[in-house]
Amino acid sequence: MTSPGVPEMSRVDTPRVDVCVVGAGPAGLALTLMLLRSGVEVALVERSTGLRRDFHGEILQPGGQRVLDELGVLSAARARGARELAGFQVLQDERLLLDIDYRRLPAPYDCLLALPQRHLLDELLAACRSLPGLTFLEGHRVSGLVREGERIAGVVAHRRDGGTTTVRAGVVVGADGRHSRTRMLAGIDAGRREAFDQDVAWFALPAPGRATGEVRVHRTGTGALLVHDTHPDRLRVGWTLPHRTWNRVAARGIQDVRRELADALPPFADLIHEHLRSLSDLTLLDVFAAQAGRWVDDGLLLVGDSAHTHGPIGAQGINLALQDAAAAHPVLLDAVGAGDASRDRLLPYERRRRPAAATVHRIQRIQAKALLGRSGPVATRLRSRAASVVTRSRIGERITHRIAYGPDPVTVCTDLFGTPASAPASAPAPASAPAPASVSGVDEGSRG
């Protein structure tokens, strides 16, 4: 049965699949591709059309690059346009303080890669579409979860034409980001914590011939700015601000803001004065940490920002999300093959990945205070000494590898490709009749 006010769906409008993935970001598409290559039927639900969404994180760590390479999409995505970055540098008033050189790492993943997410998503989607078993529902916004008793058994999505589509699935995967609607409808707390003292205002500058080849943190007496090259011939700049002070900053007006930014970034002052024309050229990112109360439920699994959200320092978000997908892949195959998507069956994924996310949270809090925090002369001298140790010793190599591959360097189980699932979870249960299905949370902001 369905909740009051929900129109009945015809069989034609009710696809039934093994797995329904909500969100066509990097994690959702990568996981969809892994499942399709393993013979699983997948419905991919995405609220945008043409993957037209705003993305700010585009730096791929070596760990994420390796996952994409194992999926066979990295080379083609790079060919669309990308920038290799040799590593992280920290400058204090334009004096080099710290240099973390990724060229110390073994090839071929001996760099950071600034890859526009549109290039990555297009390649992942093209690879998914080349395989059988995909139902791609773009322009569909999830508005409810289908339940069979206590188990989540699908989603209801509103289409742009005003209609609704119901997707029934053995497992639902929430890959719909830091403000995940799937997570909210499941009644799972986001676990948000104000772990950082900064927000970040992002903007881009056309910069032909001005590439730095690095990700740089420019520290000044008043704060810090993150700068890196991006395709095509642009600089992406992240201006760190004290948490929740943007309204006061914006009230000063673009001329004052532009002057402060130009003073903080002398090498690019001319570009800032020429191209930063209004406050609308800046996009504010609310920086926070989050660790969802649980990552799996009966019939539900969360990946990427839906399960855990991180700050931008260290470029860990996409890396962790892609590794989540690789870790979830064999667990989901096991659930589909057994016809059992219970919490207990899915829990090995959470038990593996939750500690990795927690470790990155701890590291990022330390990094944020060390690299982005305001300080006086004494703290600056201490930073300089610590940076010298990291840059010139074997400690630096170990730290670089840890940041590059994460605390849990997952690889794709390519040996599971090409083998169809033996017993799809969508097959009728041979035991007692299931509890009646219901649809929860269809109305905006409601939960069943």
Q: Which helix (H) or strand (E) holds 421?
A: none
Lowest mean pLDDT among 12-16, 47-51, 192-196, 210-214: 12-16
The tokens 């303080």 sit on which residue? 97
pLDDT in tens, 379-404: 555 455 555 555 566 677 788 888 89
Lowest mean pLDDT among 182-186, 376-380, 432-436: 432-436
Strands in 104-263 per DSSP E: 112-114, 134-138, 140-148, 151-159, 164-174, 192-193, 198-206, 215-220, 223-230, 234-242
132 with 40: CB under 8 angstroms?
Answer: no
- Show Cβ contacts of residue 98 under 8 Å, excluding neighbours closer than 6 positions: 88, 89, 90, 387, 390, 391
Average pLDDT over residues 368-376: 60
Q: Which two tokens stand for residue 38?
A: 């393993």
State residue 97's pLDDT score.
Answer: 83
State residue 186's pLDDT score.
Answer: 97
pLDDT in tens, 220-240: 877 789 999 999 999 999 998
Q: How far apart are CA 398 and CA 146, in angstroms?
A: 47
Q: Within a 13 Å sphere around the CA of 86, how many CA atoms are in the beta-carbon half?
A: 9
Mean pLDDT (the chain) is 85
**Could you tell me what percent of the chain has a pLDDT over 70?**
82
Closest CA to 59 of 5, 120, 14, 141: 120
Q: How far apart are CA 56 and CA 177, in angstroms?
A: 13
pLDDT in tens, 105-155: 999 999 999 999 999 999 999 999 999 999 999 999 999 999 999 999 999
Q: How far apart are CA 193 and CA 292, in angstroms?
A: 11
